[in-house]
Structure 1
Amino acid sequence: MAVHPPAGPPAFVKYSTVPTQWDATGVRFSRRQ
């Protein structure tokens, strides 16, 4: 857990293949790791 999202979602979500899933939560992840 080095760089965690500002919203507070799990770190595994950041490395998820579908970051757009959190788009509805208000966290728009356009970074596909």
Structure 2
Amino acid sequence: TRIIGKISAFTVLQYINYVNNRPVGRVKYALN
């Protein structure tokens, strides 16, 4: 369970980085 949690957290962080790095202007403005 602990390992799965770490993998899930890592996946979420990668997704956030992907979203923030691709359409930087619109996405960051929407998140803020």
State the TM-score, normalized to the length of structure 1: 0.29
Tell me which of the two structures has the higher relative contact order, counting C-alpha pairs closer than 8 angstroms and 6 or more residues apart: 1
Larger radius of gyration: 2
Per residue, is there more helix in 1 or in 2?
2
TM-score w.r.t. structure 2 length?
0.30
